[in-house]
Protein backbone atom coordinates (compact mmCIF):
# COMPACT_ATOMS: atom_id res chain seq x y z
CA UNK A 1 0.00 0.00 0.00
CA UNK A 2 1.17 3.51 -0.73
CA UNK A 3 1.71 6.41 1.63
CA UNK A 4 -1.30 8.19 0.10
CA UNK A 5 -3.57 5.39 1.39
CA UNK A 6 -2.71 6.09 5.03
CA UNK A 7 -1.46 9.67 5.22
CA UNK A 8 -3.40 12.38 7.04
CA UNK A 9 -4.75 15.22 4.93
CA UNK A 10 -5.27 18.15 5.06
CA UNK A 11 -2.21 18.96 7.14
CA UNK A 12 -2.17 21.21 10.20
CA UNK A 13 0.42 23.83 9.24
CA UNK A 14 2.30 26.78 10.64
CA UNK A 15 4.35 29.58 9.15
CA UNK A 16 7.87 30.68 10.21
CA UNK A 17 6.48 33.99 11.48
CA UNK A 18 3.82 32.43 13.72
CA UNK A 19 4.51 32.61 17.45
CA UNK A 20 4.60 29.86 20.06
CA UNK A 21 1.39 31.04 21.74
CA UNK A 22 -0.48 30.47 18.47
CA UNK A 23 1.23 27.11 17.91
CA UNK A 24 0.40 26.03 21.45
CA UNK A 25 -3.30 26.75 21.00
CA UNK A 26 -3.34 25.11 17.58
CA UNK A 27 -1.71 21.90 18.85
CA UNK A 28 -4.08 21.69 21.81
CA UNK A 29 -7.17 22.50 19.74
CA UNK A 30 -6.36 20.02 16.97
CA UNK A 31 -4.87 17.36 19.26
CA UNK A 32 -1.66 17.03 17.24
CA UNK A 33 1.95 16.69 18.33
CA UNK A 34 3.63 18.18 15.26
CA UNK A 35 3.05 20.91 12.70
CA UNK A 36 4.55 21.23 9.23
CA UNK A 37 6.03 24.66 8.57
CA UNK A 38 5.49 25.84 5.00
CA UNK A 39 6.34 28.60 2.57
CA UNK A 40 4.45 28.81 -0.74
CA UNK A 41 2.89 25.39 -0.01
CA UNK A 42 6.32 23.72 0.21
CA UNK A 43 7.42 22.16 3.53
CA UNK A 44 10.48 23.88 4.96
CA UNK A 45 10.44 22.73 8.58
CA UNK A 46 8.71 20.85 11.36
CA UNK A 47 7.85 21.83 14.92
CA UNK A 48 6.98 19.19 17.50
CA UNK A 49 6.19 19.07 21.20
CA UNK A 50 9.65 17.62 21.81
CA UNK A 51 11.24 20.59 20.03
CA UNK A 52 9.31 22.89 22.34
CA UNK A 53 10.37 20.96 25.46
CA UNK A 54 14.00 21.04 24.34
CA UNK A 55 13.97 24.78 23.74
CA UNK A 56 12.16 25.58 26.97
CA UNK A 57 14.95 23.90 28.92
CA UNK A 58 17.08 26.87 27.89
CA UNK A 59 17.19 29.67 30.44
CA UNK A 60 16.83 32.32 27.72
CA UNK A 61 13.61 30.80 26.42
CA UNK A 62 12.20 30.28 29.92
CA UNK A 63 12.38 34.04 30.46
CA UNK A 64 10.36 34.84 27.35
CA UNK A 65 6.61 34.86 26.82
CA UNK A 66 5.20 32.42 24.28
CA UNK A 67 3.95 35.20 22.04
CA UNK A 68 7.51 36.53 21.64
CA UNK A 69 8.99 33.21 20.45
CA UNK A 70 8.72 32.61 16.71
CA UNK A 71 8.30 29.26 14.98
CA UNK A 72 11.48 29.97 12.99
CA UNK A 73 13.46 29.93 16.26
CA UNK A 74 12.26 26.45 17.27
CA UNK A 75 11.48 24.49 14.10
CA UNK A 76 13.76 21.84 12.69
CA UNK A 77 14.96 22.67 9.21
CA UNK A 78 15.69 21.36 6.61
CA UNK A 79 13.46 18.29 6.85
CA UNK A 80 12.98 15.01 5.00
CA UNK A 81 9.78 14.52 3.01
CA UNK A 82 8.39 11.52 1.11
CA UNK A 83 6.50 11.19 -2.16
CA UNK A 84 2.84 10.26 -1.97
CA UNK A 85 3.41 7.20 -4.20
CA UNK A 86 6.05 5.64 -1.92
CA UNK A 87 5.15 2.49 0.02
CA UNK A 88 4.31 2.31 3.72
CA UNK A 89 7.44 0.20 4.26
CA UNK A 90 9.57 2.88 2.60
CA UNK A 91 8.04 5.47 4.90
CA UNK A 92 8.77 3.33 7.96
CA UNK A 93 12.38 2.85 6.86
CA UNK A 94 12.83 6.58 6.28
CA UNK A 95 11.42 7.37 9.73
CA UNK A 96 13.71 4.83 11.37
CA UNK A 97 16.81 5.93 9.44
CA UNK A 98 16.22 9.60 10.32
CA UNK A 99 14.83 8.84 13.81
CA UNK A 100 11.76 10.96 13.19
CA UNK A 101 8.08 10.38 13.96
CA UNK A 102 6.47 12.04 10.96
CA UNK A 103 7.15 12.81 7.32
CA UNK A 104 5.55 15.52 5.19
CA UNK A 105 4.09 13.96 2.05
CA UNK A 106 4.61 15.78 -1.23
CA UNK A 107 3.50 15.36 -4.82
CA UNK A 108 5.80 15.31 -7.83
CA UNK A 109 5.98 19.12 -7.71
CA UNK A 110 7.22 19.09 -4.12
CA UNK A 111 3.95 20.55 -2.84
CA UNK A 112 2.60 19.48 0.53
CA UNK A 113 -0.34 17.06 0.18
CA UNK A 114 -0.34 15.25 3.54
CA UNK A 115 1.66 13.91 6.44
CA UNK A 116 2.39 10.35 7.48
CA UNK A 117 3.17 9.76 11.13
CA UNK A 118 3.84 6.93 13.55
CA UNK A 119 0.09 6.89 14.22
CA UNK A 120 -0.65 6.17 10.56
CA UNK A 121 2.00 3.44 10.52
CA UNK A 122 0.50 1.91 13.66
CA UNK A 123 -2.94 1.94 12.04
CA UNK A 124 -1.49 0.11 9.04
CA UNK A 125 0.05 -2.46 11.41
CA UNK A 126 -3.26 -2.92 13.26
CA UNK A 127 -5.13 -3.55 10.01
CA UNK A 128 -2.59 -5.73 8.22
CA UNK A 129 -0.06 -7.46 10.51
CA UNK A 130 -1.36 -10.19 12.82
CA UNK A 131 0.18 -13.16 14.67
CA UNK A 132 3.69 -12.20 13.55
CA UNK A 133 5.07 -10.44 16.63
CA UNK A 134 4.47 -10.57 20.37
CA UNK A 135 4.50 -7.39 22.41
CA UNK A 136 7.71 -8.49 24.11
CA UNK A 137 9.47 -9.02 20.79
CA UNK A 138 9.11 -5.41 19.64
CA UNK A 139 8.70 -3.30 22.77
CA UNK A 140 11.48 -1.41 24.56
CA UNK A 141 12.80 -3.49 27.46
CA UNK A 142 16.17 -1.82 28.12
CA UNK A 143 16.69 1.65 29.56
CA UNK A 144 12.98 2.11 30.18
CA UNK A 145 12.27 5.80 30.93
CA UNK A 146 11.00 5.67 34.52
CA UNK A 147 10.69 8.00 37.49
CA UNK A 148 9.10 7.73 40.90
CA UNK A 149 6.19 9.80 42.17
CA UNK A 150 8.37 12.44 43.82
CA UNK A 151 10.92 13.14 41.10
CA UNK A 152 10.83 16.80 40.03
CA UNK A 153 9.51 17.89 36.66
CA UNK A 154 13.09 18.81 35.74
CA UNK A 155 14.12 15.18 36.26
CA UNK A 156 11.21 14.04 34.09
CA UNK A 157 12.20 16.42 31.29
CA UNK A 158 15.82 15.32 31.52
CA UNK A 159 14.91 11.63 31.22
CA UNK A 160 12.54 12.35 28.36
CA UNK A 161 15.28 14.18 26.49
CA UNK A 162 18.08 11.67 27.12
CA UNK A 163 16.02 8.55 26.42
CA UNK A 164 14.67 9.83 23.08
CA UNK A 165 11.16 8.78 24.15
CA UNK A 166 7.89 10.67 24.15
CA UNK A 167 6.69 9.41 27.54
CA UNK A 168 7.97 8.53 30.99
CA UNK A 169 6.49 5.80 33.20
CA UNK A 170 5.93 6.57 36.89
CA UNK A 171 6.52 3.46 39.01
CA UNK A 172 5.86 2.47 42.59
CA UNK A 173 7.14 -0.86 43.87
CA UNK A 174 8.02 -1.90 40.34
CA UNK A 175 4.46 -1.40 39.11
CA UNK A 176 3.35 1.35 36.70
CA UNK A 177 1.11 3.86 38.50
CA UNK A 178 1.20 6.76 36.07
CA UNK A 179 2.45 8.05 32.76
CA UNK A 180 3.76 11.46 31.69
CA UNK A 181 3.81 12.40 28.03
CA UNK A 182 5.15 15.24 25.93
CA UNK A 183 1.65 16.72 26.01
CA UNK A 184 1.82 16.98 29.79
CA UNK A 185 5.19 18.72 29.61
CA UNK A 186 5.06 20.85 26.47
CA UNK A 187 3.41 23.90 27.97
CA UNK A 188 3.82 23.45 31.71
CA UNK A 189 4.63 26.71 33.46
CA UNK A 190 7.87 26.41 35.39
CA UNK A 191 9.12 28.97 37.91
CA UNK A 192 10.98 31.78 36.14
CA UNK A 193 12.44 33.47 39.21
CA UNK A 194 13.66 32.61 42.66
CA UNK A 195 10.60 34.50 43.96
CA UNK A 196 8.36 31.65 42.73
CA UNK A 197 7.61 30.34 46.20
CA UNK A 198 5.14 30.56 49.07
CA UNK A 199 5.99 31.41 52.64
CA UNK A 200 5.00 29.14 55.49
CA UNK A 201 5.22 29.87 59.21
CA UNK A 202 7.39 27.41 61.09
CA UNK A 203 7.40 27.07 64.88
CA UNK A 204 10.23 25.26 66.59
CA UNK A 205 11.23 25.40 70.27
CA UNK A 206 8.90 28.34 70.81
CA UNK A 207 10.48 30.40 68.03
CA UNK A 208 8.61 31.52 64.93
CA UNK A 209 10.35 31.57 61.57
CA UNK A 210 9.39 31.53 57.91
CA UNK A 211 10.38 28.95 55.34
CA UNK A 212 10.10 29.10 51.58
CA UNK A 213 8.36 26.33 49.68
CA UNK A 214 9.24 26.51 45.99
CA UNK A 215 6.48 25.80 43.51
CA UNK A 216 8.20 23.11 41.43
CA UNK A 217 5.80 20.34 40.36
CA UNK A 218 6.74 16.69 40.82
CA UNK A 219 5.86 13.68 38.69
CA UNK A 220 2.77 12.85 40.71
CA UNK A 221 1.37 16.34 40.09
CA UNK A 222 1.34 16.03 36.30
CA UNK A 223 1.07 12.29 35.59
CA UNK A 224 -2.00 10.51 34.24
CA UNK A 225 -2.71 7.89 36.93
CA UNK A 226 -3.67 4.23 36.34
CA UNK A 227 -2.34 4.00 32.78
CA UNK A 228 -3.64 1.46 30.27
CA UNK A 229 -1.25 -1.52 30.19
CA UNK A 230 -0.71 -4.67 28.13
CA UNK A 231 0.81 -8.05 28.97
CA UNK A 232 4.15 -8.85 27.37
CA UNK A 233 2.97 -12.15 25.80
CA UNK A 234 0.03 -10.64 23.90
CA UNK A 235 -0.01 -10.32 20.10
CA UNK A 236 1.55 -7.01 19.07
CA UNK A 237 -1.45 -6.54 16.78
CA UNK A 238 -3.64 -6.16 19.87
CA UNK A 239 -1.29 -3.49 21.22
CA UNK A 240 -1.50 -1.57 17.94
CA UNK A 241 -5.29 -1.73 17.99
CA UNK A 242 -5.38 -0.52 21.61
CA UNK A 243 -3.15 2.46 20.88
CA UNK A 244 -5.40 3.47 18.00
CA UNK A 245 -8.65 2.80 19.88
CA UNK A 246 -7.64 4.72 23.00
CA UNK A 247 -5.81 7.42 21.02
CA UNK A 248 -2.62 7.09 23.04
CA UNK A 249 1.00 7.03 21.90
CA UNK A 250 2.27 4.23 24.11
CA UNK A 251 1.66 2.16 27.21
CA UNK A 252 3.52 0.19 29.89
CA UNK A 253 4.16 -3.50 29.28
CA UNK A 254 3.71 -5.78 32.30
CA UNK A 255 4.23 -9.41 33.28
CA UNK A 256 1.81 -11.73 35.07
CA UNK A 257 2.72 -10.07 38.40
CA UNK A 258 1.77 -6.65 36.98
CA UNK A 259 5.41 -5.54 37.23
CA UNK A 260 6.78 -3.22 34.57
CA UNK A 261 8.90 -5.06 31.98
CA UNK A 262 8.86 -2.60 29.10
CA UNK A 263 7.07 0.13 27.23
CA UNK A 264 5.52 -0.11 23.77
CA UNK A 265 4.99 2.96 21.63
CA UNK A 266 3.79 3.69 18.14
CA UNK A 267 7.38 4.09 17.01
CA UNK A 268 8.01 0.43 17.88
CA UNK A 269 5.62 -0.50 15.07
CA UNK A 270 7.57 1.75 12.74
CA UNK A 271 10.72 -0.14 13.71
CA UNK A 272 9.08 -3.54 13.25
CA UNK A 273 7.85 -2.70 9.75
CA UNK A 274 11.14 -1.09 8.73
CA UNK A 275 13.14 -4.12 9.83
CA UNK A 276 10.81 -6.97 9.01
CA UNK A 277 7.93 -5.75 6.89
pLDDT score at 185: 76
Mean pLDDT to the nearest integer, 141-160: 91
pLDDT score at 263: 97
pLDDT score at 163: 80
Q: What is the DSSP letter of 116?
A: E
pLDDT score at 221: 87
pLDDT score at 154: 87
Q: Please give the domain boundaries of the chain with CATH numbers for all domains.
A: 3-118 (3.10.580.10), 135-185+220-276 (3.10.580.10)
**Residue 193 pLDDT more than 50?**
no
Cα 175 from Cα 146, distance rounded (Å) = 11
pLDDT score at 202: 61
Q: Treating both helix axes as pointing N-terminal to C-terminal, what angle do 118-128 and 266-276 enclose, rounded to 10 degrees?
A: 60
Share of the chain above pLDDT 90, in %: 68
pLDDT score at 262: 97
> Taking a C-beta distance cutoff of 8 angstroms, is the pair 20, 67 a contact?
yes
**Residue 20 pLDDT more than 50?**
yes
| Sign of CA pseudo-dihedral 202, 208, 209, 210 | positive
Cα 64 from Cα 21, distance rounded (Å) = 11
> Taking a C-beta distance cutoff of 8 angstroms, is the pair 45, 37 a contact?
yes
**Residue 192 pLDDT more than 50?**
no
Strand partners, 39: 42
- The model's pLDDT over 237-252, given as tens digits with 9 standing for 90+, comes to 999 999 999 999 999 9
Mean pLDDT to the nearest integer, 155-167: 85
- The model's pLDDT over 109-139, given as tens digits with 9 standing for 90+, comes to 999 999 999 999 999 999 999 999 999 999 9
pLDDT score at 251: 97
Residue 190: band (very low, low, confident or very high) from pLDDT cuts 50, 70, 90: low
Residue 206: band (very low, low, confident or very high) from pLDDT cuts 50, 70, 90: low
Of the given ranges (34-48, 60-74, 105-119), which has the lowest mean pLDDT? 60-74
Cα 206 from Cα 224, distance rounded (Å) = 42
Cα 205 from Cα 157, distance rounded (Å) = 40
Residue 60: band (very low, low, confident or very high) from pLDDT cuts 50, 70, 90: confident
Question: For 30, phi and psi rounded to 5 degrees?
Answer: -90, -10
Cα 172 from Cα 141, distance rounded (Å) = 18
pTM beyond 0.85: the answer is: no
Mean pLDDT to the nearest integer, 192-215: 55
Cα–Cα distance list, 10 to 29, 94, 100, 120 (Å): 15, 22, 20, 14
Amino acid sequence: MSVSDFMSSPVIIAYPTDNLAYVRNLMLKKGVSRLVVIERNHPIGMITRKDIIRKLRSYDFQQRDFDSILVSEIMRSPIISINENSSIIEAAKEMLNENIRGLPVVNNKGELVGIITKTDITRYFAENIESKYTVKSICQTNNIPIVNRHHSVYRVIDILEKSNNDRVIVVDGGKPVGIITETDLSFITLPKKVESFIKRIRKEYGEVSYERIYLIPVAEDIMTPDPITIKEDEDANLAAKMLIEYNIGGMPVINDDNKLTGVITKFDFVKALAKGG
